[in-house]
Amino acid sequence: MYAHPEVLVDTQWLQDHLTEPNLRILEVDMSPDLYKDAHLPGAVFWSIFDDLLLPNLGQNLDAIAFQSLLSRSGITPETMVVAYGSYPGTGAWIFWLFKLFGHDNIRVLNGGYQTWKAENRPLAAELSTVSPVPEKAVALNPDLRVLKEEVQTAIDHPNTALLDVRTLEEFQGKIFLNQPPTGNERGGHIPGAIHIEHLAALNPDGTFKSFEELQKLYGEKGIIRDREIFPYCAIGGRSAFVWFVLKYLLGYPRVRNYDGSWNEWSRISELPVES
């Protein structure tokens, strides 16, 4: 059993609770096109590019901006939020983001949109409308993230593991995000980083692997609970997913997400890079 099974909801549970007034289903995707065609009944939509990222592709961690998102989506501190997306792992990224801003009543839909659709569960085409709620002040919890200065000091430190969760092509420096590096972008990885792609934590149907499978997957590569783990990816979303897996499914005590990730690290010329 997972260390914190309560952070996951399965598709049957969610279908049984779709009409609960204190539940808000949240779809997060790069484009609203899929949402407009067929989304979970009652789900509200957040755009990755318009709502969550800055123009430089860094995450928008401004408390006022996040507070506004919650207000517009009808989410109060008492609202239970269930997050999902069409891309595997999106819900776990949103879990990290909510926890970062102190909203603890957040759950991840196990399997996400992929599993929901494969099981022929109900989908809606009409756009969901919710009434905005008064804005409540939120504050960022710095304990859930790590900054580049500490990442740099962690290189080759035996008690710390840097975990690169991007694709192998990204890790090897062949591509930057989704194309070869250009301009001031550098391909490669942080020296000494261990590579385990984030999708390795999922079954083919998009659900999370078992506790035992996850423990074996990470433990065999030196990602063990005795070390402090700093996962990173390109812009901090996939690494937030792995943060969720390690901290909430496996119960690792010391995991912090490097949300600046490769988008930040690779552009700073004095920071070391391996390929």
Residues marked as catalytic: 233
DSSP code of residue 210: P
CB 170 within 8 A of CB 190: no
* Helix or strand (DSSP H, E) at 118: helix 112-118
Task: For residues 169 and 179, give the distance between their C-alpha atoms in angstroms, rounded to a whole number.
Answer: 10
For residues 211 and 2, the answer to whether their CB atoms sit within 8 Å is: yes
Phi first, then psi: give them for residue 153, nearest 5 degrees: -70, -20
The enclosing H or E element of 194 equals strand 194-195
Three-point CA angle 75, 80, 83, nearest 5°: 85
Q: How far is CA 129 from the centre of its chain?
A: 25
Could you give the CA distance from residue 273 to residue 6 in angstroms, rounded to a whole number? 39
CA gyration radius, the chain: 18
